[in-house]
């Protein structure tokens, strides 16, 4: 069986990034964006090195998004080309969820979620693990940036009016439990 791989038709990571940046631009009234932000992995396992990391994009919400009900804090996006194996991409996103990122201003943040672009299908245990780790997917909806977490839209647009919607489903509270389930 072939390993899961990222979808789309992006021959290079640069092509995938350019397409994503156009989607992010469609949400420039909702997010401020920083590219290639350096950070430090702060939760190493025994014998794992404490190393620097760099995430492709960090998006932080603007007032319009907060006023619309956004409660998902600062988020990150990791970008790969089409056909890239999903496993290493997910492992990288997990590292980012255990990292602190510092902007040139000196302000540091911990990400609420990491979204992957382009996406790939997930089911069963893999989908459950991604939800627990708060790793989701970027999607495109009518040329605009959409975000999905735990198979639920976190940011989407109404089909009839095009109005932006912030998800409020209980599915979006994934990753809040620790220990016994």
Write the DSSP string, 107-145. Answer: -EE--SEEEEES-----HHHHHHHHHTTEEEEEEETTEE
Domain ranges of the chain: 13-173
For 113-140, how does the pLDDT look when each residue is reduced to its tens digit (9 = 90+)? Answer: 999 999 999 999 999 999 999 999 999 9
What is the pLDDT at residue 180?
Answer: 65
Q: What pTM, to 2 d.p., does this model score? A: 0.93
Q: What is the pLDDT of residue 179?
A: 74
Assess contact for 111 and 96: CB atoms under 8 A.
yes
Mean pLDDT of the chain: 92
Please check the confidence at residue 40 and state whether its pLDDT lies above 70.
yes
Q: What are the start-end ranges of the H helices in the chain?
A: 13-25, 63-67, 86-97, 124-132
Q: What is the pLDDT of residue 34?
A: 96
Fold for the domain defined by 13-173: Trna Endonuclease; Chain: A, domain 1 (3.40.1350)
- Is the pLDDT reported for residue 181 higher than 70? no
53: left (phi over 0), alpha (psi -120 to 50) or beta: beta
| pLDDT value of position 161 | 84
């Amino acid at each position: 069986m072939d390993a899961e791989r990222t979808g789309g038709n992006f021959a290079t990571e640069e092509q995938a990034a350019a397409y994503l940046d156009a989607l992010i631009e469609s949400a420039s009234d909702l997010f401020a964006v920083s590219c290639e932000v350096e950070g430090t992995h702060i939760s190493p396992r025994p014998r794992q090195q404490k190393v620097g990391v760099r995430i492709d994009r960090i998006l932080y919400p603007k007032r319009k998004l907060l006023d619309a009900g956004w409660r998902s804090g600062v988020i990150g996006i990791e970008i790969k080309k089409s056909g890239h194996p999903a496993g290493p991409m997910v492992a990288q996103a997990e590292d980012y969820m255990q990292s602190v990122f510092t902007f040139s201003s000196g302000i540091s943040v911990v990400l609420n979620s990491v979204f992957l672009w382009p996406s790939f299908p997930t089911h069963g245990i893999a989908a459950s693990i991604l939800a627990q780790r708060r790793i989701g997917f970027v999607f495109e909806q009518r040329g605009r940036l959409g975000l999905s977490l735990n198979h639920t839209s976190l940011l989407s647009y109404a089909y009839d009016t095009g109005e932006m919607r912030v998800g409020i489903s209980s599915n979006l509270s994934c990753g809040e439990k620790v220990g016994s389930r």
